[in-house]
């Protein structure tokens, strides 16, 4: 496991790159967000159609060597990975191979055990399946092998009656969705990311299951700084979520038993996902590696006219709010607006461009989304969390983007 890297000659957090006329306010907000990274780095890309509006980087990808963050630097995007899997699921639905309201057991018969026969694909994508945490005490070796995780999911009894509540499936989401995709298509999630997304976008720098080339270029994840000089408004819902994150089920949703040791330490998951074997394995709910450029291109392509990555019906599915159900608990606040595989704009806790935005955030503050109304794809990546409320820096940037779009 890596210690906190320090290097006196790390690149300064001064943004470099391109900003289209009229979007200078976004550059200034990015610069403010980057100014608190403390040896870390970040990247911002905003694309409309095929046109780049903003393409900026700042700081260090690896303070040990002083390597600067470059426009093509890939980083672990944590739970933005869930949106990538959701796009794959929607692609298979468009092809008529997968049914959103079909039982998971239709495609994965062994899943029906332990009162799970009626759980639908939509329940899983919307974090309503009741499988947020597992009883099995899994190990890191189990996670890398994958099949022990799938067997544990098959015998797990839901924590609540599926469909009647929501609780954030921090890691189980990825293995369940990934296995559904594999059963339907015959290909694993990493291959589908390459074929249906990266290659469809002309070779976008987005992977699940890192190659040696990606590992060599990646941004090293850094342990979080728990104090931030930026103003932090801890809303009641976020305070509640921070408290709920210490509940046993929430802790197990990240630790998977003993697979991620010392999960009470905020640096634990970051440290584990620096390890090459985890990155090569491609933990599906949190292990996608991509440059901000690639993510912005991907999301812009989902809402582009003509050769869109998703059809209009899929975009409607992504934006359609589901009937309200009670919050069961877990790592996401009760106000989080989860739809079918995506987060929607939430002014209190996860601000995006508009009510027509859909995307996802990541554990250390990353944010990527598409906006149907403007046709914009947005991606902000970082390798360090700053402050207990990870959304603060991206919210500064989103607010500036809103102002620029209104004037554009």
- Could you tell me which residues come within 8 angstroms of residue 303 by beta carbon, excluding any fewer than 6 positions away? 310, 315, 370, 371, 372, 375, 376, 377
Q: Residue 17: beta bridge partners?
A: 56
Asked if residue 4 belongs to a domain, the reply is no
What pLDDT does residue 8 have?
38
What does the pLDDT look like over 135-182, one tens digit per residue?
999 998 999 999 999 999 999 999 999 999 999 999 999 999 999 999
Decide if 296 contacts 381 (C-beta within 8 A).
no
Asked if residue 384 belongs to a domain, the reply is yes
Asked if residue 2 belongs to a domain, the reply is no
Counting as low any pLDDT under 70, the low residues of the chain are: 1-12, 226-246, 261-270, 387-391
What pLDDT does residue 104 have?
98
Tokens of 271: 């440290």
* C-alpha–C-alpha distance, residues 166 and 163, integer Å: 8
Range of the domain at 319: 16-407
Number of independent structural domains in the chain: 1
Asked if residue 10 belongs to a domain, the reply is no
CATH number at residue 283: 3.40.710.10
Nearest to 221 by CA among 267, 190, 255: 267
Tokens of 125: 């994508």
Asked if residue 64 belongs to a domain, the reply is yes
What pLDDT does residue 225 have?
77
Decide if 386 contacts 230 (C-beta within 8 A).
yes
Q: Rg of the chain's alpha carbons, rounded to an integer?
A: 20
Q: Residue 379: beta bridge partners?
A: 45, 368
Asked if residue 11 belongs to a domain, the reply is no
Tokens of 62: 């690896």
Decide if 368 contacts 80 (C-beta within 8 A).
yes
Helix crossing, 80-94 with 312-319: angle to 10°?
Answer: 140
Decide if 4 contacts 64 (C-beta within 8 A).
no
End-to-end C-alpha distance for the chain, whole angstroms: 47
Confidence (pTM): 0.93
């Amino acid at each position: 496991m890596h210690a906190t890297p320090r290097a006196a000659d790390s690149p300064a957090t001064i943004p470099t790159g391109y900003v289209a006329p009229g979007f200078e306010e976004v550059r200034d907000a990015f610069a403010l967000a980057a100014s608190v990274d403390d040896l870390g780095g970040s990247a911002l890309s905003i694309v409309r159609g095929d046109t780049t509006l903003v393409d900026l980087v700042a700081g260090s990808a690896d303070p040990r060597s002083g390597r600067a963050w470059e426009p093509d630097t890939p980083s672990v995007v944590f739970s933005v990975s869930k949106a990538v899997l959701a796009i794959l699921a929607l692609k298979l639905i468009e092809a008529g191979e997968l049914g959103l309201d079909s039982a998971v057991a239709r495609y994965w018969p062994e899943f029906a055990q332990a009162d799970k026969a009626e759980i639908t694909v939509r329940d899983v994508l919307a974090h309503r399946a009741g499988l947020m945490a597992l009883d099995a005490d899994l190990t890191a070796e189990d996670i890398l092998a994958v099949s022990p995780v799938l067997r544990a999911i098959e015998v797990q009894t839901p924590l609540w009656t599926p469909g009647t509540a929501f609780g954030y499936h921090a890691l189980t989401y990825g293995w369940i969705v990934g296995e559904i995709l594999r059963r339907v298509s015959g290909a694993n999630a990493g291959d589908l990311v390459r074929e249906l997304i990266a290659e469809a976008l002309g070779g976008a720098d987005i992977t699940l299951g890192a190659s040696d080339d990606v590992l060599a270029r990646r941004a090293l994840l850094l342990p979080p700084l728990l104090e931030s000089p930026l103003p932090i408004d801890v809303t009641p819902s976020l305070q509640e979520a921070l408290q709920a994150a210490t509940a046993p089920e929430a802790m197990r949703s990240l630790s998977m038993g003993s697979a991620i040791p010392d999960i009470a330490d905020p640096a634990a998951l970051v440290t584990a996902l620096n390890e090459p074997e985890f990155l090569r394995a491609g933990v599906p709910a949190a292990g996608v590696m991509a440059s901000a450029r690639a993510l912005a291109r991907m999301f812009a392509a989902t809402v582009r006219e003509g050769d869109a990555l998703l059809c209009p019906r899929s975009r409607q599915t992504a934006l359609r709010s589901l009937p309200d159900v009670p919050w069961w608990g877990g790592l996401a606040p009760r106000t989080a607006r989860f739809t079918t595989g995506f987060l929607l704009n939430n002014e209190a806790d996860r601000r995006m461009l508009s009510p027509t935005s859909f995307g996802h955030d990541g554990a250390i503050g990353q944010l990527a989304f598409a906006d149907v109304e403007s046709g914009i794809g947005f991606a902000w990546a970082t390798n360090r969390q700053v402050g207990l409320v990870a959304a603060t820096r991206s919210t500064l940037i989103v607010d500036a983007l809103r102002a620029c779009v209104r004037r554009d």
